[in-house]
Homo-oligomer: A and B are copies of this chain.
């Protein structure tokens, strides 16, 4: 199931609020759904959707529970607290993206090609069919102090992959690789706010970003 923002007014659109407004019951999957592995997983997925759509503070446990087909109290059998649930979702999302990116770059040699594949995979995971990983992007600013260190730790390993990828590029002397990496990642994450179905495919959007940054001189020095 895919929930995506539709660009409104042609500009940088405000993000999708569908879940926040959706009656929780509409998103309940029946217990016998073949895709249902177990309750913990269902809760994790429901939480991913709610956090994705509403942010940490905007999401509430009752809606998560309803979306997972359980009562609010039942979540606490599986997760210690809202914080812990968020950390679990975030960790799972990071894991998925790590796997996706790793698989995407495997067997590719050219540094710019590797980065392009990584960006495509990141964007695809973030906006693709599962959209489980939506938490990655939007919750940044509503994260509370207590969660910071845990989330940072989870992200570090993921982002070091991009550091490595970018470290292999031959960037112009006036480009700081760290600034480069941060701009790339935030632009990629930013797609969560404006991507909508019907337009360019997520992976292609990711690719475009890297192509914009790829200097012709580097890419195809002979012609220039």
Contact = CB atoms under 8 A, between A and B. Distances in A.
A211 B172 CA distance: 10
A194 B217 contact: no
A187 interface: yes
A176 interface: yes
Q: Determine the main DSSP class of A at the interface with B.
A: helix
Interface residues of A, number: 67
Q: Which of A138, A139, A140 has the most chain B CB within a 10 Å cutoff? A: A140
Given A139-B141, A141-B15, A159-B11, A208 B183 contact: yes
B160 A182 contact: no
A12 B147 CA distance: 15
B211 A174 contact: yes
Nearest to A217: B216
Given A187-B183, A189-B190, A141 B53 contact: yes
Given A10-B156, A182-B191, 6 more contacts: A10-B163, A14-B152, A15-B143, A54-B57, A55-B142, A58-B142
Interface of A: 8-15, 17, 20-21, 52-58, 137-145, 147-149, 151-153, 155-156, 158-160, 163, 174-176, 179-180, 182-187, 189-194, 200, 205, 208-209, 211-213, 215-217, 224
